[in-house]
Structures are given as C-alpha cells and as structure tokens.
Amino acid sequence: MNLAPQVERYLPHQVLELVGTISREADRLGQRAYLVGGVVRDLLLGHPNFDLDLVVEGDALELAERLAGTTQAKLATHPRFGTAKLSCGDFTLDLATARGETYARPGALPTVTPGTLSDDLLRRDFSINAMTISLAPDDYGELVDPYQGKVDLEHGLVRVLHSRSFCDDATRILRAVRYEQRLGFSLEPETARLLERDIPMLRTISADRTRHELELILREKHPEHAIRRLGELGVLPEIHPALKGNGWIAGSFDKARQLSRAGQLPSLYLCLLVYHLSEQQNERFIERLNLPNSLADVLRHTLRLKTGLPFLNRPSIRRSEIYRFLREFRPVAIQSNVIASEFRSASLKLELFLTTLRYVKTSVDGERLRELGFPAGPELGIALRRLQTARLDGEVKTRAEEEKLALSLNPQGD
C-alpha cells in the first residue's frame, strides 16, 4: 500500500521539504530511511503529530550530520545510542539507527545491537506503533506493516507483538492503557490476558521509569480515563495499594481543567490522585516513584494543608490571617485543595489567597522606613509586617495612610 499522497497532504510544507531532503541524502549515502511509529499511526488515523521519528537502515548519525549541514535544522547527537535529534521551527525529528534489542532479565534495560528494519520493528511495543513509511526514492510512501498494525487500527485494537512483551518491559502495561484510552480502542483479548498475567512484572521496573510513564498519562487530554482503567485492571495497586481510579478522581480532574492552566495540570492531577492518602501512605508513594524533591514537597503540602482547612473554614477569620496561614504552601497544593475541599468557605478563602492576597504589597518598603527615621534592626521588620497586615485587612489603602501608620510605629518617633 502506498501512502505518498496521504503523506503529501498530512505533513506541513516545511516538514515535507525536510522529508524530501532526507530521502535524497539517505539515497546518496546508500541508506534507507523510514517514518516510523506514532507519526505513521496518527497519519492513518488523521490525527496531527509533527514530532517525527525516523529509523535508518545505515548510520543515523551520519545522515543527521549531513542534514544539519544542508538545512537550517539544529542538531543534537547521542552517539552511544546511535540517535540524533533535529529541531526545525516548531517540530522535531528523531533519527535512530535500526537496531535489535535483547533483555537479560525482566525489567532490565535492553542490550542494543545494530540491526535491520525487521529487527527494529520487532522490538516495538504494539502493532499500531510498528508500521513504517519508506522515504527511499524507489518506493517512496510504501507502507511497511509486518504485524498488521493497520488492521488493528481499523478494528480499534491495542496488541503486543509477542507473548513476552510485558515481561521484557512492564512499562508497556501503562502505555497499553494510555493508548487504549487516548484512541478510544480496546485491548486485543490475548493482549489483555497477557497484561493481567504480567501485572506483577511492574515490580521489576525502576521507580524513575514508572514515574515517567505515569507522567505521560497525566499529560493526556483526559488522564482520568486511563487512571480508571488501570484501577479496573488491577494495575493501580502495583503503583500504590491505596490509589483509586473512581468517580471522585474523574470529577476532580475535570474541575482542575476548568480552573487551572494547562502547564500546571500534571502536577495538580498528581496532588488530586494522592488527596485521600494518609501522610504515611503519601511518603510510600513518593518513595515508590522516586519523586523529585520539589514535586514531593507539593504532595506533602497538599495533605498538610488539607488537615488545616478547618482553620480557614471559620467565618470570622481576617484576610491577614489567611495570608499568614497560606503563604508557606505551594500554589499547586493550594489549588488542589480548592478543587478537593469539602469546606465551601475554606475553598473560597483559598481562592482569595491565590487570586488576590498573595499579590498584596505595601507601598512603603524598608528603605522608606529608614528615611522616616526607623533604626536598623528587628523593629524595621516588625513595622513592615504590621504595615502588610494593615494593608491586607483594609486598615490602610494609600501610601499616605501607610506612612502615617509607619510613623506611629516608630520607636524613636516623637
């Protein structure tokens, strides 16, 4: 099957020009290059995807260096892995030398050796990601599909290539569910059986690799679908026994999308995922995924703030008290409590802090206080805090009012 017309329509003009250059340069070097993986899948589905992957029968580094010399693309190479990345405008192009992989034990990183296109496709996770489109001049646009990926696309199936796929690399369990839910597909029956059989193999995967796959899920448009499915399949308990993929998660994730910026969402989703864990369970979750300190602190702040919400739920609390209580908490942790809290009054105060109180500044600073005769020392800091409290609580509204209050606070004043 030749997809050249579809390629011409699918790729933006700038990308298409680069693909043409790749075709010519590879041919001059006696190499063969193929579009591979996600871009082929998404082209057949009609989904946009312009982060392109190429597999090269030959030397991908040599081809990439030739391309960098003849185009405006920026080049980054990784000789150890035989890969290179070209960046051109808003898209990237990853080139890899065709290779085979073997696994010394379940969960181990593979041993990589140069190989053929057939070797390279066999090492891939699912049939829908094991298709290529030739860029060689003699068969440009020809679909190479040895594992019937196109048929699986047409039937809406996610299927592994062999029975040891999840044993070799159990992160494929998480990826299978991510693709299934993103595309609205189903696990092919034998693949579903193998997945459930091999769930314990997730214990062979490093914390960092598990975390990476979970992060990819949380970057999906609707990650709650994958979280729910992981719960149904019994995968979530292998990540942490207390995690749930229930309706509360679906509702809170949806609310997060309504209230928060896109770039904040993955961290916010993670806070909501652990919201009903105890602090001890949360620490085990942090350890299980080897979370970076900054992200681990956000989760800790989320649960610590949850225990303090009754303080904010008081009807008579002053704005300055809200500020003092919340100023040490991470904004994402505060936002997660806005979404998840059962205390309506507390949620409103959390929102007030995020939208208004944290930005309140006094007009009078330390330098102006010294000009007004304040001595250097603790009194200066005390005065600044008193001024901020007055500003937060509306006791002063102008610079002149701040200065008047400051003069009354000066221990050396008349």
pLDDT of residue 3: 92
Helices (H), 85-206: 117-122, 149-155, 165-168, 171-183, 189-197
pLDDT of residue 411: 67
Residue 205 pLDDT class (50, 70, 90 cuts): very high
Which span out of 28-32, 181-185, 244-248 was modeled with the highest average pLDDT? 181-185
Report how many helices (DSSP H) and strands (DSSP E) the chain contains, helices first: 22, 11
**Phi, psi dihedral angles at 119 (to 5 degrees):** -60, -40
Euclidean distance between the first and the last CA atom of the chain, given in angstroms as a whole number: 93
Helix (H) or strand (E) holding 114: strand 111-114
Task: Mention every residue, 6+ apart, whose C-beta is less than 8 A from residue 41.
Answer: 128, 129, 131, 149, 153
Q: pLDDT (tens digit, 9 = 90+) per residue, 347-383?
A: 999 999 999 999 998 888 888 888 888 877 787 888 8
CA-CA distance, 104 to 30, in Å (whole number)? 33
**How large is the average pLDDT for residues 186-204?**
96
Tokens for 213, please give them.
């796959």
Q: Which CATH architecture has domain 1-154?
A: 2-Layer Sandwich (3.30)
Q: pLDDT (tens digit, 9 = 90+) per residue, 214-247?
A: 999 999 999 999 999 999 999 999 999 999 888 8
- Surface-to-core class of residue 27, CB atoms within 10 Å of its CB (0-12 exposed, 13-18 middle, 19+ buried): middle
Is the pTM here over 0.85, yes or no? yes
Q: Where exactly are the structural domains of the chain?
A: 1-154, 292-359, 366-409
pLDDT of residue 409: 78
Residue 169 pLDDT class (50, 70, 90 cuts): very high
**Phi, psi dihedral angles at 113 (to 5 degrees):** -135, 150
Residue identified by tokens 């030397």 is 59
Residue 397, pLDDT above cutoff 80: yes
Among residues 163, 28, 3, 13, the alpha carbon closest in space to that of 90 is found at 13
**How large is the average pLDDT for residues 321-338?**
95
pLDDT of residue 155: 97
Q: pLDDT (tens digit, 9 = 90+) per residue, 103-137?
A: 767 776 777 777 889 989 999 999 999 999 999 99
Asked if 100 and 115 touch (Cβ cutoff 8 Å), the reply is: yes
pLDDT of residue 338: 95
Which pairing describes strands 91-97 and 83-88: parallel, antiparallel, or unpaired? antiparallel
CA-CA distance, 306 to 250, in Å (whole number)? 20
- Whole-number mean pLDDT of the chain? 90
CA-CA distance, 40 to 1, in Å (whole number)? 13
The amino acid present at 26, given as its one-letter code, is: A
pLDDT of residue 412: 64
pLDDT of residue 68: 81
CA-CA distance, 269 to 339, in Å (whole number)? 11
Q: What percent of the chain has pLDDT over 90?
A: 59
**How large is the average pLDDT for residues 285-309?**
96
Asked if 30 and 59 touch (Cβ cutoff 8 Å), the reply is: no
CA-CA distance, 405 to 413, in Å (whole number)? 12
